[in-house]
Amino acid sequence: MKDLNTFYIRTYGCQMNELDSEILITQLKARNLAQVETETEADIILLNTCSIRDLAEKKVLGKLYEYKKDKKDKIIGICGCMAMSQKETLLKKFPHLDFLIGTNNLLDITKVLDDFLSKNTQMKKLDIDYEKELENFYATRDNKIKASIAIIRGCNNHCSYCIVPQTRGKEVSRDSKSIINEAKYLANLGYKEITLLGQNVNSYGLDKPDQNYLFPDLLYDLNKIDNIDRIRFMTSHPKDITKDLMYAIRDLDKLCEFVHFPVQSGSNKVLKEMRRSYSAEEYLEKVNLLKSITPNATIGTDIIVGFPNETDEDFEKTYKLFELIEYDTAFIFAYSPRQKTYAARKFEDNISNEIKQKRLQKLLKLFHSILEKKYKALIGSKKEVLVESLNKDGIYLKGRTREFEKVIFKGDKSLIGKLQIVEITGFSYQTLKGKVI
């Protein structure tokens, strides 16, 4: 085997996976491997994978078939959720695949690599338990303005459609001191925004009842850190959103006014079969409470259309709820049965793709009309934007408001990394346009 000098990594899936890739990259660079932008240049190819829907897995399987034809002498590793959901099956199906590293073995990457090099046989590390050593590992991030921090890993919920509890194991909250230290470390490096990550950040601390320290407590402590301008969090399970959290959003100057609050469906029958443990009425009650405590907060959602047995009437209920709440951000997905989940075992995937797509498009259309109305009303208003980078077009600067709206405007590159007040002058699709004032 030739000398190893370079690696390529591609990340699929959610922000937690992005952070996990940063953790992997930090270690590979510390081992004197250089990150490259293309597979062709790489000695090692890593795919940090996602299993949430069939399409996410298909993309990776496609890559693996591609590498099968032309592996050369590259080392190929699969990390992340597909390693956890498919395990040995992947190794058997793809003999040219060299190792699997699961979501709780991020710090084993160099050891697995070394073991593979010395033994030259397929390797795997797929623990289901929390990786304790991660508590104090700080990744080096490419982005120098905003960073994610994992505060709780795993998921204890049992949403019937969801594979994440299988791929990430039980909920474990990270020690608060270690979170606060990492936030201070990032603040010292000049970071302006942190996003606290978890499958369900609102259950932070519930697994350690003796510590009597919950998500709002953490937010109050993080808000004291100088130099950080903004704190965000995601995701929130509606059942665990408390009044205390809403007060924190109202009262903490750094905590941004945006809550990702996924409803999934507006039909109580479907919600029950999804095992979401709230009714549409209870959900709406919480949204109304949130709107009354923090009137300027924006609200985001995830929705699954075409869950088994979802009727037109069920879908109409989702549509009506969406219309009533007027979401500010929305991710709408077609149901995709996942192996070994309760829903996949219990129900037939009996809604055709055509109907799923029709429902999805109908909700998207509604979403865009809501945004259009909201964004029109914003014209002339002034918004604080954290300037993140140059926009893709290379002309505008790009950033986000506290409420998570994307804004582009013309300005000097020296504004990148700063808070800037911008007057909204127009919009196109999901992007606001503005001018510096």
Residues that bind ligand SAH (CB under 6 A): 52-53, 161-162, 164, 199-200, 235, 237, 262, 264, 302, 304, 333, 335-336, 338
Q: Which residue is nearest to ligand F3S (CB)?
A: 13
- Say whether residue 105 binds ligand F3S (CB under 6 A): no
Q: How far is the CB of 63 from ligand F3S (least distance, A)?
A: 16
Q: Give the residue, chosen from 49, 51, 199, 298, that forms a contact with ligand SF4 under the rule CB under 6 A.
A: 199
Max Cα separation, the chain?
Answer: 65
CB 246, CB 293: distance < 8 Å: yes
The entry of ligand SF4, ligand F3S, ligand SAH, none that residue 165 binds, CB within 5 to 8 Å by partner kind: ligand SF4
Residue numbers 112-131 binding ligand SF4 by CB under 6 A:
none
Instruction: Compute the distance between CA of residue 366 and CA of residue 404 in angstroms, rounded to an integer.
Output: 20
Helix (H) or strand (E) holding 47: strand 44-49
Instruction: Compute the distance between CA of residue 267 and CA of residue 319 in angstroms, rounded to an integer.
Output: 10
Query: Quick one: which segment of 163-171, 216-224, 242-250, 284-292 binds ligand F3S (CB under 6 A)?
Result: 163-171
Q: Give the residue, chosen from 162, 231, 263, 332, that forms a contact with ligand SF4 under the rule CB under 6 A.
A: 162
- Say whether residue 168 binds ligand F3S (CB under 6 A): yes
79 versus 164: smaller Cβ distance to ligand SF4: 164
- Say whether residue 338 binds ligand F3S (CB under 6 A): no
Q: How far is the CB of 338 from ligand F3S (least distance, A)?
A: 9
SS3 of 48-96: the string is EECCCCHHHHHHHHHHHHHHHHCCCCCEEEEEEHHHHHHCHHHHHHCCC
Q: Which residue is nearest to ligand SAH (CB)?
A: 302
Q: How far is the CB of 138 from ligand SAH (least distance, A)?
A: 24
431-436 vs 419-428, strand pairing mode: antiparallel
CB 262, CB 238: distance < 8 Å: yes
The entry of ligand F3S, ligand SAH, ligand SF4, none that residue 134 binds, CB within 5 to 8 Å by partner kind: none
Contact partners, residue 96, CB within 8 Å, separation at least 6 = 67, 68, 71, 76
CB 156, CB 275: distance < 8 Å: no
Instruction: Compute the distance between CA of residue 430 and CA of residue 422 in angstroms, rounded to an integer.
Output: 17
263 versus 397: smaller Cβ distance to ligand SAH: 263
Q: How far is the CB of 366 from ligand SAH (least distance, A)?
A: 17
298-305 vs 258-260, strand pairing mode: parallel
- Binding region for ligand F3S (CB under 6 A): 13-14, 16-17, 50-52, 80-81, 163-164, 167-168
